[in-house]
Every structure is written in C-alpha cells, then in structure tokens.
Amino acid sequence: MAKQTSVIHASIVAALFAVLGIGGVVYGSRVALPGLASRHGAGIDAMLDYLLITTGVLFAVGYCALAYFIWTGARRGRIGQRLASRRTELWVSGTIGIAVALVAEGGVLAIGMPVWSEYFDATPPADAVTVEVLAQQFLWNVRYAGPDGQFGRTSSDRIDDVSNPMGMDRTDPAGRDDIITQNAITVPSGRAVRLRLRSRDMIHSFFLPHFRVKQDIVPGMTPEVIFFPTREGSFEMACTELCGLAHYRMRGFFDVVSPEAYEKWLTDQSTPPPARR
C-alpha cells in the first residue's frame, strides 16, 4: 500500500514538472521575440526555431531514455554483471555525443553562416543610409551626414557634454550640415541601413529587437552593421549591456518612415527653427 502511494506521489510530481516544462515552452515561443522587421532577421529566427526544436526533441528523447532505464532498473533485484562491455559503452556514448553536436552546431553553421555574411560582411548598397551612433552613459548620440553626404571630423578632446557631445570639429566645412539627434534614429523604408557604432566611455550594446540587430560597442572600436528594414513603424531601441546605474535610460526609438516623410524629416532637421518674435 505504501509503495502504491509513493508511486502516485512520484507520478504527480513528474506530471507537475512536465506541465511546467511544456507550458513554459508553449508560453515562451509566443512571447520570446517581437514582430520581425528586417530581412536578415528571418534567418536568425529560423536558427532559433531550429535550435529550440532540435534541442527540445533531443532533450525529450534523452529524458524518455532515462525514465525507461530508471523504470526497468528499479525492478531489478541486484546488479550481478555489466550489461554492456566497456568498449560498447564508449562507442555508444561517443556516437550519441558526436551526433548531438552535429545536429546542434552543424545546423547553426548551415543556417547561420549566410545570415552572418549578409549582416557583417556585405558591401553596403550605394543608396544605404549611413548613420553614426555614439554611445555614452546614458544616451545615444546620433549623427547624419546631412545634404553633402560627408561626415565632419570629430575628435574626443573636443567633446563637451553640453555644447558638443560628439566632439565635432567646428572648423571642418563637411560637418556644418551634419544632423545630430539623441535617442532617436529615423530611416526611410526600402533602403539598407548602415550603422557605424562607437562608444565614448565604456561597453554598451546597441539593440533593436524587432530587427534582430544586437551589437556590442567597445570603446576604441567602430563596429558596423548593415541591415534592411522590411516594414515601416516606430520601434524600440535599447542598450543591452548593463553600463551603469542609469542604464535603463538608454532607451530610444528607431523610426522607419516612407521616403517622402524621410526627406521632409531631413529638411526639418537641417533648417533652423524660425526666430520667435
């Protein structure tokens, strides 16, 4: 009788864990990622789906095997001999280990390498919109080249938090028409976006969840990312490297607008506001 009760208890606990595990996967697969808005992002999503499904299946198979051996092993009175030779044990576990690694790593390479080359190694199209992003505690400085298409010179010794956050060289004519904003990036739809990322003080990480764009920014390095937005809208931009107490304030917006709205936005930024009477 006592044995029956303990079997019932064990079954209830096992069922509870199974419900938690499966429920977690079902819930997580719905809330994990926000709606996709970039071309290369489809490949990243495919890779995540592949990993979730294959490792999920391997996990389930592994646990079923474990349950089977516990079930049959518990009924055995005593273990009198090895059930398999040492060689067979090595061979079986080695084969399973290599097969699992091939499924997981091989799949990641097969799906991931084309995405990697599209995202990091692609030559930007001639009409790509280039935007410079300079991270600092705790905001994003954003710069556009302006009508002349040339970024003005900058240097770190010219940086002044209030009057010159990006360290612009005011004597450089190329920089006169540069447009500077904070915590907001606007780009037109239908064109590739090329982001040149820099950091002023410490490691930040530029994150556009809808675009599957995430790039660490280490001071002294200028990583670039190229991606192609696939829909218009206003999307969240965040820092995803805990960079200090006010890290949470590094939240901004990445707006993809129609080409006409973008031209108007550029003109609005370039013309100084009318003087007040």
Nearest distance, CB of residue 133 and Cu ion, angstroms: 11
Which residues in 6-35 contact Cu ion (CB under 5 A)?
A: none
Q: Of 62-121, which residues contact Cu ion (CB under 5 A)?
A: none
> Could you tell me the smallest distance in angstroms from the CB atom of residue 116 to Cu ion?
24
Q: Is 250 in the site for Cu ion (CB under 5 A)?
A: yes
Report the distance separating Cα 43 and Cα 114, nearest Å: 8
Binding residues for Cu ion, rule CB under 5 A, total 4
Query: In whole angstroms, what is the distance from residue 95 CA to residue 109 CA?
Result: 20
Q: How far apart are CA 205 and CA 81, in angstroms?
A: 57
Q: Which span sits near Cu ion by CB under 5 A: 41-49, 56-64, 99-107, 244-252?
A: 244-252
Q: Please, what is the angle between helix 41-74 and helix 107-116, to 10°?
A: 170
Positive or negative CA dihedral for 94, 95, 100, 101?
positive
Minimal distance, residue 179 CB to Cu ion, in Å: 23
Provide the CA 182 distance to its chain's centre, in angstroms: 22
Q: How far is the CB of 155 from Cu ion (least distance, A)?
A: 22
SS (H, E, C) 29-88: HHHCCCCCCECCHHHHHHHHHHHHHHHHHHHHHHHHHHHHHHHHHHCCCCCCCCCCCHHH
Residue 135 CB, nearest distance to Cu ion (Å)? Answer: 6
Cα 216 to its chain centre, rounded Å, is 10
Identified binder of Cu ion from the candidate list 194, 204, 210, 212, rule CB under 5 A: 204
Q: Is 243 among the residues that bind Cu ion (CB under 5 A)?
A: yes
| For Cu ion, the closer CB: 129 or 237 | 237
Q: State the burial class of residue 250 (Cβ atoms within 10 Å of its Cβ: 0-12, 13-18, 19+).
A: buried
Cβ of residue 158: shortest distance to Cu ion, in angstroms?
22
* 199, 239, 254, 256: residue in contact with Cu ion (rule CB under 5 A): 239
Nearer to Cu ion among residue 204 and residue 210 (C-beta): 204
Which listed range, 52-60, 105-113, 142-150, 249-257, lies at the site for Cu ion (CB under 5 A)?
249-257
Least distance between Cu ion and beta carbon 127 (Å): 30
Could you tell me which stretch among 89-97, 151-159, 209-217, 234-242 binds Cu ion (CB under 5 A)?
234-242
Dihedral sign (CA 200, 204, 209, 213): positive
Is the Cβ–Cβ distance between 237 and 214 less than 8 Å? no
Nearest-approach distance from CB 33 to Cu ion, in angstroms: 22
Residue 133 contacts Cu ion per CB under 5 A:
no
Residue range at the interface with Cu ion (CB under 5 A); choices 34-42, 159-167, 202-210, 257-265: 202-210
Give dist(CA 79, CA 26) in Å, integer: 41
List Cβ neighbours of 50 (8 Å cut-off, separation of 6 or more): 107, 108, 111
Q: Choose the binding region for Cu ion from 111-119, 145-153, 198-206, 227-235 (rule: CB under 5 A).
A: 198-206
Rounded to 10 degrees, the C-alpha dihedral 91/95/101/102 comes to: 150
**Residue number, 121 or 161, with CB nearest to Cu ion:** 161
Binding site for Cu ion (CB under 5 A): 204, 239, 243, 250
